[in-house]
Structure 1
Amino acid sequence: METKVSFIMIFLISTSTAVLLLDDNYVFSLSANNVTISHELNKITTNSLNFSDPVYQAYSGTFIGTKNLSSGPPVISQDHAIEKAVMKNVGNVTNNMTFINTHLSDGTIQSAANGTITSEDGQSINWISSDIGIINDQGELFHGIVQFEITNSSNFSFLSNATGLDKQTPDIKRTIWLIEK
Protein backbone atom coordinates (compact mmCIF):
# COMPACT_ATOMS: atom_id res chain seq x y z
CA MET A 1 0.00 0.00 0.00
CA GLU A 2 1.40 3.38 -1.01
CA THR A 3 1.11 6.25 1.44
CA LYS A 4 1.24 9.82 0.20
CA VAL A 5 2.52 12.45 2.60
CA SER A 6 1.07 15.93 2.18
CA PHE A 7 2.50 19.05 3.73
CA ILE A 8 1.47 22.61 4.30
CA MET A 9 3.95 25.46 4.17
CA ILE A 10 3.16 29.13 4.56
CA PHE A 11 5.53 31.81 3.29
CA LEU A 12 4.91 35.42 4.24
CA ILE A 13 6.41 37.30 1.34
CA SER A 14 5.43 40.71 2.71
CA THR A 15 2.73 42.12 4.95
CA SER A 16 0.33 42.08 2.00
CA THR A 17 1.22 38.77 0.34
CA ALA A 18 1.34 35.18 1.59
CA VAL A 19 1.82 31.88 -0.21
CA LEU A 20 0.49 28.56 1.10
CA LEU A 21 1.92 25.38 -0.42
CA LEU A 22 -0.48 22.53 0.28
CA ASP A 23 1.58 19.80 -1.40
CA ASP A 24 3.57 19.38 -4.58
CA ASN A 25 0.44 19.90 -6.72
CA TYR A 26 -1.50 22.65 -4.96
CA VAL A 27 -0.61 26.27 -4.30
CA PHE A 28 -2.59 29.08 -2.68
CA SER A 29 -1.48 32.69 -2.60
CA LEU A 30 -3.04 35.77 -1.06
CA SER A 31 -2.35 39.38 -1.79
CA ALA A 32 -4.21 42.56 -0.93
CA ASN A 33 -5.90 42.52 -4.33
CA ASN A 34 -6.78 38.93 -5.13
CA VAL A 35 -6.56 35.27 -4.23
CA THR A 36 -5.00 32.79 -6.58
CA ILE A 37 -5.65 29.09 -6.28
CA SER A 38 -3.82 26.67 -8.49
CA HIS A 39 -5.03 23.10 -8.56
CA GLU A 40 -1.92 22.30 -10.51
CA LEU A 41 1.12 24.50 -10.41
CA ASN A 42 0.80 25.25 -14.12
CA LYS A 43 -2.93 26.12 -14.08
CA ILE A 44 -3.90 29.32 -12.27
CA THR A 45 -7.41 30.49 -11.48
CA THR A 46 -8.11 33.86 -9.91
CA ASN A 47 -11.02 34.06 -7.48
CA SER A 48 -12.66 37.07 -5.92
CA LEU A 49 -11.90 38.20 -2.39
CA ASN A 50 -13.56 41.47 -1.45
CA PHE A 51 -11.73 42.85 1.61
CA SER A 52 -14.44 45.48 2.08
CA ASP A 53 -17.14 42.80 2.49
CA PRO A 54 -16.32 40.29 5.26
CA VAL A 55 -18.70 37.43 6.01
CA TYR A 56 -17.81 37.44 9.74
CA GLN A 57 -16.77 40.26 12.05
CA ALA A 58 -16.15 39.65 15.76
CA TYR A 59 -16.88 42.50 18.14
CA SER A 60 -15.97 40.92 21.49
CA GLY A 61 -14.12 37.92 22.79
CA THR A 62 -13.72 36.11 26.08
CA PHE A 63 -10.69 33.98 26.85
CA ILE A 64 -11.94 30.89 28.76
CA GLY A 65 -8.69 29.17 29.63
CA THR A 66 -5.50 27.44 28.58
CA LYS A 67 -3.89 24.08 29.20
CA ASN A 68 -0.26 23.18 28.47
CA LEU A 69 -0.05 20.05 26.34
CA SER A 70 3.76 19.92 26.38
CA SER A 71 6.57 21.56 28.28
CA GLY A 72 8.50 21.96 25.02
CA PRO A 73 10.41 22.99 23.21
CA PRO A 74 8.29 23.81 21.42
CA VAL A 75 5.59 24.59 23.97
CA ILE A 76 2.17 23.41 22.83
CA SER A 77 -0.96 24.80 24.45
CA GLN A 78 -4.69 24.32 24.09
CA ASP A 79 -6.70 27.53 24.41
CA HIS A 80 -10.47 28.04 24.59
CA ALA A 81 -12.30 31.26 23.75
CA ILE A 82 -15.77 32.50 22.86
CA GLU A 83 -16.43 35.35 20.45
CA LYS A 84 -19.52 37.40 19.81
CA ALA A 85 -19.76 38.42 16.16
CA VAL A 86 -21.98 39.58 13.35
CA MET A 87 -22.27 37.26 10.37
CA LYS A 88 -23.49 38.32 6.94
CA ASN A 89 -26.96 36.91 6.13
CA VAL A 90 -27.31 35.57 9.70
CA GLY A 91 -26.94 38.40 12.24
CA ASN A 92 -25.55 37.97 15.75
CA VAL A 93 -23.65 34.74 16.39
CA THR A 94 -21.52 33.09 19.06
CA ASN A 95 -18.28 31.36 18.06
CA ASN A 96 -17.03 28.70 20.52
CA MET A 97 -13.36 28.05 19.63
CA THR A 98 -10.52 25.70 20.59
CA PHE A 99 -6.93 26.37 19.47
CA ILE A 100 -3.94 24.04 19.58
CA ASN A 101 -0.99 26.45 19.52
CA THR A 102 2.63 25.53 18.85
CA HIS A 103 4.86 28.30 20.23
CA LEU A 104 8.05 28.42 18.15
CA SER A 105 11.40 29.72 19.41
CA ASP A 106 11.22 32.88 17.22
CA GLY A 107 7.92 33.94 18.86
CA THR A 108 5.74 32.75 16.00
CA ILE A 109 2.68 30.69 16.86
CA GLN A 110 1.28 28.03 14.54
CA SER A 111 -2.35 27.33 15.38
CA ALA A 112 -4.77 24.60 14.40
CA ALA A 113 -8.28 25.45 15.51
CA ASN A 114 -11.84 24.23 15.39
CA GLY A 115 -15.11 25.60 16.55
CA THR A 116 -18.82 26.03 16.18
CA ILE A 117 -20.63 29.20 15.16
CA THR A 118 -24.19 29.33 16.52
CA SER A 119 -26.95 31.75 15.53
CA GLU A 120 -29.42 33.22 18.01
CA ASP A 121 -32.07 30.65 16.95
CA GLY A 122 -29.72 27.73 17.71
CA GLN A 123 -28.60 26.79 14.20
CA SER A 124 -24.87 26.15 13.81
CA ILE A 125 -21.95 25.38 11.54
CA ASN A 126 -18.61 23.81 12.44
CA TRP A 127 -15.27 24.97 11.08
CA ILE A 128 -11.55 24.22 11.20
CA SER A 129 -8.66 26.59 10.56
CA SER A 130 -4.92 26.85 10.27
CA ASP A 131 -3.35 30.13 11.32
CA ILE A 132 0.06 31.63 11.93
CA GLY A 133 0.83 34.70 13.96
CA ILE A 134 2.35 36.38 16.99
CA ILE A 135 1.25 37.74 20.34
CA ASN A 136 3.14 40.81 21.54
CA ASP A 137 2.67 43.92 23.69
CA GLN A 138 0.13 45.33 21.23
CA GLY A 139 -1.98 42.13 21.13
CA GLU A 140 -2.60 39.29 18.68
CA LEU A 141 -1.77 39.34 14.96
CA PHE A 142 -2.89 36.20 13.11
CA HIS A 143 -3.65 35.25 9.49
CA GLY A 144 -5.09 31.96 8.31
CA ILE A 145 -7.44 29.89 6.27
CA VAL A 146 -10.84 28.62 7.46
CA GLN A 147 -12.76 25.63 6.12
CA PHE A 148 -16.46 25.49 6.95
CA GLU A 149 -17.99 22.02 7.19
CA ILE A 150 -21.02 20.83 5.25
CA THR A 151 -24.20 21.81 7.07
CA ASN A 152 -27.95 21.26 6.76
CA SER A 153 -28.62 24.51 8.65
CA SER A 154 -30.70 26.93 6.59
CA ASN A 155 -29.02 29.94 8.26
CA PHE A 156 -25.53 28.77 7.33
CA SER A 157 -26.22 26.96 4.03
CA PHE A 158 -24.26 29.63 2.10
CA LEU A 159 -21.16 28.58 4.08
CA SER A 160 -21.55 24.83 3.56
CA ASN A 161 -18.11 23.51 2.52
CA ALA A 162 -16.88 27.09 1.86
CA THR A 163 -13.32 28.31 2.37
CA GLY A 164 -12.38 31.67 3.82
CA LEU A 165 -9.44 33.72 4.96
CA ASP A 166 -9.25 35.13 8.45
CA LYS A 167 -7.30 37.94 10.00
CA GLN A 168 -7.02 39.23 13.55
CA THR A 169 -5.03 42.30 14.55
CA PRO A 170 -4.68 44.27 17.78
CA ASP A 171 -7.02 46.90 16.29
CA ILE A 172 -9.54 44.63 14.54
CA LYS A 173 -11.11 41.51 16.03
CA ARG A 174 -11.28 38.31 13.97
CA THR A 175 -12.60 38.95 10.45
CA ILE A 176 -13.36 36.28 7.83
CA TRP A 177 -13.71 36.79 4.09
CA LEU A 178 -15.02 34.06 1.79
CA ILE A 179 -13.11 32.93 -1.26
CA GLU A 180 -15.71 33.12 -4.02
CA LYS A 181 -15.98 30.03 -6.19
Structure 2
Amino acid sequence: MYSTLFLFIVSLFGASMLLSNFEHTLGQTTTGESTNPSLYNLVTNSLNLTEPVYQAYSATFVGSKNLSSGSPLITEDYAIEKAVMKNVGNVTNNMTFINTHLPDGTIQSTSRGTITSEDGHNIGWISSDIGIINDQGELFHGIIQYEVTNSSTFSFLSNMTGIDKQTPEIKRTIWLIEK
Protein backbone atom coordinates (compact mmCIF):
# COMPACT_ATOMS: atom_id res chain seq x y z
CA MET A 1 0.00 0.00 0.00
CA TYR A 2 2.80 2.42 0.91
CA SER A 3 4.62 1.61 -2.32
CA THR A 4 1.47 2.41 -4.33
CA LEU A 5 1.02 5.70 -2.45
CA PHE A 6 4.72 6.52 -2.92
CA LEU A 7 4.45 5.74 -6.67
CA PHE A 8 1.33 7.93 -6.90
CA ILE A 9 3.08 10.88 -5.17
CA VAL A 10 6.19 10.53 -7.35
CA SER A 11 4.00 10.38 -10.49
CA LEU A 12 2.05 13.43 -9.36
CA PHE A 13 5.29 15.33 -8.61
CA GLY A 14 6.71 14.30 -12.02
CA ALA A 15 3.56 15.40 -13.82
CA SER A 16 3.63 18.71 -11.96
CA MET A 17 7.29 19.30 -12.95
CA LEU A 18 6.52 18.39 -16.58
CA LEU A 19 3.56 20.79 -16.63
CA SER A 20 5.66 23.53 -15.03
CA ASN A 21 8.38 23.11 -17.70
CA PHE A 22 5.76 23.06 -20.47
CA GLU A 23 4.18 26.31 -19.20
CA HIS A 24 7.64 27.90 -18.92
CA THR A 25 8.33 26.88 -22.52
CA LEU A 26 5.13 28.64 -23.58
CA GLY A 27 6.23 31.80 -21.80
CA GLN A 28 3.74 31.49 -18.95
CA THR A 29 4.12 30.72 -15.28
CA THR A 30 1.40 29.05 -13.27
CA THR A 31 0.27 32.52 -12.17
CA GLY A 32 -0.13 33.64 -15.79
CA GLU A 33 2.80 36.08 -15.74
CA SER A 34 4.84 36.29 -18.91
CA THR A 35 8.45 35.18 -18.57
CA ASN A 36 9.45 35.51 -22.22
CA PRO A 37 7.90 36.59 -25.52
CA SER A 38 5.87 33.89 -27.18
CA LEU A 39 3.27 33.42 -29.87
CA TYR A 40 1.05 31.87 -27.24
CA ASN A 41 0.65 35.11 -25.31
CA LEU A 42 0.79 37.54 -28.24
CA VAL A 43 -1.98 40.13 -28.07
CA THR A 44 -3.65 40.57 -31.45
CA ASN A 45 -6.32 42.83 -32.85
CA SER A 46 -9.70 41.25 -33.35
CA LEU A 47 -12.59 41.68 -35.71
CA ASN A 48 -16.17 40.71 -34.92
CA LEU A 49 -17.82 40.06 -38.28
CA THR A 50 -21.24 39.66 -36.65
CA GLU A 51 -21.32 43.28 -35.47
CA PRO A 52 -20.64 45.88 -38.14
CA VAL A 53 -20.31 49.46 -36.96
CA TYR A 54 -21.75 50.88 -40.21
CA GLN A 55 -24.31 49.57 -42.69
CA ALA A 56 -25.30 51.62 -45.73
CA TYR A 57 -28.83 51.20 -47.05
CA SER A 58 -28.80 53.62 -50.01
CA ALA A 59 -26.26 55.43 -52.15
CA THR A 60 -26.55 58.27 -54.63
CA PHE A 61 -23.90 58.83 -57.26
CA VAL A 62 -23.41 62.61 -57.51
CA GLY A 63 -20.87 62.98 -60.31
CA SER A 64 -17.50 62.18 -61.81
CA LYS A 65 -14.55 64.11 -63.17
CA ASN A 66 -11.78 62.71 -65.40
CA LEU A 67 -8.34 63.50 -63.92
CA SER A 68 -6.16 61.75 -66.53
CA SER A 69 -5.26 62.52 -70.12
CA GLY A 70 -4.10 59.00 -70.93
CA SER A 71 -3.98 55.49 -69.64
CA PRO A 72 -4.79 54.47 -66.96
CA LEU A 73 -8.07 56.29 -66.54
CA ILE A 74 -8.16 58.20 -63.22
CA THR A 75 -11.44 59.66 -62.05
CA GLU A 76 -12.67 61.67 -59.10
CA ASP A 77 -16.12 60.42 -58.13
CA TYR A 78 -18.62 61.80 -55.63
CA ALA A 79 -21.33 59.91 -53.79
CA ILE A 80 -23.61 60.25 -50.77
CA GLU A 81 -24.62 57.26 -48.67
CA LYS A 82 -27.39 56.92 -46.14
CA ALA A 83 -26.49 54.44 -43.42
CA VAL A 84 -27.14 53.22 -39.92
CA MET A 85 -24.23 53.45 -37.51
CA LYS A 86 -23.93 51.50 -34.26
CA ASN A 87 -24.29 53.76 -31.20
CA VAL A 88 -25.32 56.70 -33.42
CA GLY A 89 -28.34 55.84 -35.59
CA ASN A 90 -28.99 57.32 -39.03
CA VAL A 91 -26.04 59.05 -40.69
CA THR A 92 -25.13 60.65 -44.02
CA ASN A 93 -21.73 59.86 -45.55
CA ASN A 94 -20.39 62.37 -48.11
CA MET A 95 -17.60 60.66 -50.06
CA THR A 96 -14.97 61.55 -52.65
CA PHE A 97 -13.08 58.77 -54.44
CA ILE A 98 -9.94 58.99 -56.56
CA ASN A 99 -10.24 55.85 -58.72
CA THR A 100 -7.46 54.41 -60.87
CA HIS A 101 -8.97 52.05 -63.46
CA LEU A 102 -6.34 49.38 -64.22
CA PRO A 103 -6.07 47.42 -67.51
CA ASP A 104 -7.15 44.15 -65.81
CA GLY A 105 -10.51 45.70 -64.89
CA THR A 106 -9.76 46.32 -61.23
CA ILE A 107 -10.03 49.73 -59.61
CA GLN A 108 -7.67 51.04 -56.95
CA SER A 109 -9.35 53.73 -54.90
CA THR A 110 -8.28 56.23 -52.30
CA SER A 111 -11.09 58.12 -50.71
CA ARG A 112 -12.05 60.56 -48.02
CA GLY A 113 -15.28 61.67 -46.54
CA THR A 114 -17.32 62.92 -43.65
CA ILE A 115 -19.99 61.03 -41.75
CA THR A 116 -22.63 63.31 -40.21
CA SER A 117 -25.19 62.28 -37.60
CA GLU A 118 -28.75 63.60 -37.46
CA ASP A 119 -27.75 65.90 -34.55
CA GLY A 120 -25.06 67.57 -36.68
CA HIS A 121 -21.95 65.89 -35.26
CA ASN A 122 -19.42 64.55 -37.75
CA ILE A 123 -16.22 62.58 -38.18
CA GLY A 124 -13.81 62.49 -41.09
CA TRP A 125 -12.20 59.41 -42.55
CA ILE A 126 -9.80 58.22 -45.27
CA SER A 127 -9.69 54.83 -46.93
CA SER A 128 -7.96 52.69 -49.48
CA ASP A 129 -9.92 50.10 -51.45
CA ILE A 130 -9.60 47.75 -54.40
CA GLY A 131 -12.45 46.32 -56.41
CA ILE A 132 -14.36 46.02 -59.66
CA ILE A 133 -17.49 47.46 -61.22
CA ASN A 134 -19.37 45.13 -63.56
CA ASP A 135 -22.90 44.45 -64.82
CA GLN A 136 -23.97 43.20 -61.36
CA GLY A 137 -22.66 46.29 -59.54
CA GLU A 138 -19.72 47.22 -57.34
CA LEU A 139 -17.53 44.83 -55.38
CA PHE A 140 -14.91 46.54 -53.18
CA HIS A 141 -12.81 45.67 -50.11
CA GLY A 142 -10.66 48.09 -48.16
CA ILE A 143 -9.39 49.64 -45.01
CA ILE A 144 -10.68 52.83 -43.38
CA GLN A 145 -9.04 55.14 -40.84
CA TYR A 146 -11.20 57.51 -38.79
CA GLU A 147 -9.82 60.90 -37.74
CA VAL A 148 -9.29 61.94 -34.15
CA THR A 149 -12.45 63.68 -32.99
CA ASN A 150 -13.75 65.56 -29.96
CA SER A 151 -17.34 64.80 -30.93
CA SER A 152 -19.14 62.95 -28.15
CA THR A 153 -21.33 61.23 -30.75
CA PHE A 154 -18.36 59.74 -32.61
CA SER A 155 -15.82 59.45 -29.76
CA PHE A 156 -15.85 55.64 -30.01
CA LEU A 157 -14.46 55.98 -33.57
CA SER A 158 -11.71 58.49 -32.75
CA ASN A 159 -8.50 57.27 -34.45
CA MET A 160 -9.98 53.79 -35.02
CA THR A 161 -9.30 51.55 -38.01
CA GLY A 162 -11.84 49.39 -39.77
CA ILE A 163 -12.32 47.25 -42.82
CA ASP A 164 -15.08 47.74 -45.34
CA LYS A 165 -16.80 45.60 -47.91
CA GLN A 166 -19.29 46.53 -50.58
CA THR A 167 -21.13 44.05 -52.80
CA PRO A 168 -23.98 44.37 -55.27
CA GLU A 169 -26.29 42.63 -52.79
CA ILE A 170 -25.15 44.46 -49.65
CA LYS A 171 -24.18 48.12 -49.60
CA ARG A 172 -21.02 49.26 -47.80
CA THR A 173 -20.48 47.55 -44.45
CA ILE A 174 -17.73 48.54 -42.01
CA TRP A 175 -16.31 46.58 -39.10
CA LEU A 176 -13.89 48.02 -36.54
CA ILE A 177 -10.56 46.41 -35.82
CA GLU A 178 -10.33 46.35 -32.03
CA LYS A 179 -7.07 47.69 -30.63
Whether 2:92 is the aligned partner of 1:108: answer no
Q: 1:160 and 2:158 equivalent? A: yes
C-alpha displacement of 1:46: 2.5
Counterpart residue identity of residue 48, structure 1: S
Q: Partner letter of residue 104 of structure 2? A: D
Q: CA deviation at 1:48?
A: 1.4
Match of 1:91 among 72, 89, 113: 89
1:66-92: per-residue Cα shift (whole Å, max 9, x none)?
000003211000000000000000000
User: Can you give the 5+ residue segments of structure 2 that lack an aligned partner in the other structure?
Assistant: 1-41
Residue 149 of structure 2 is aligned to residue 151 of structure 1: yes
Pairing partner for 2:138 from 137, 140, 144: 140
Corresponding position of 1:124 = 122
Which residue in 2 is equivalent to 1:179?
Answer: 177
SS of the equivalent of 2:47 reads coil
TM-score, scaled to structure 1: 0.75
Identity of aligned residues (%): 80
Q: Amino acid of the residue matched to residue 164 of structure 1?
A: G
Quick one: distance in 2 between partners of 1:141 and 1:45? 32
Corresponding residue SS for 1:179: strand
> Partner residue of 1:47?
45
- 1-side partners of 2:153 and 2:146: how far apart? 13
Contiguous gaps of at least 5 residues in structure 1: 1-43
Query: Alignment RMSD, CA only?
Result: 1.2
Question: Which 10-residue stretch deviates more, 64-73 or 54-63?
Answer: 64-73
Bigger strand fraction: 1
CA–CA distance in 1 between the matches of 2:70 and 2:128?
21
Instruction: Check if 1:70 corresponds to 2:68.
Output: yes
Post-superposition offset of 1:45: 4.6
2:156 is paired with a residue of what secondary structure? Answer: helix
- Give me the whole-angstrom Cα distance separating, in 1, the residues matched to 2:99 and 2:43: 32
Greater helix share, structure number: 2
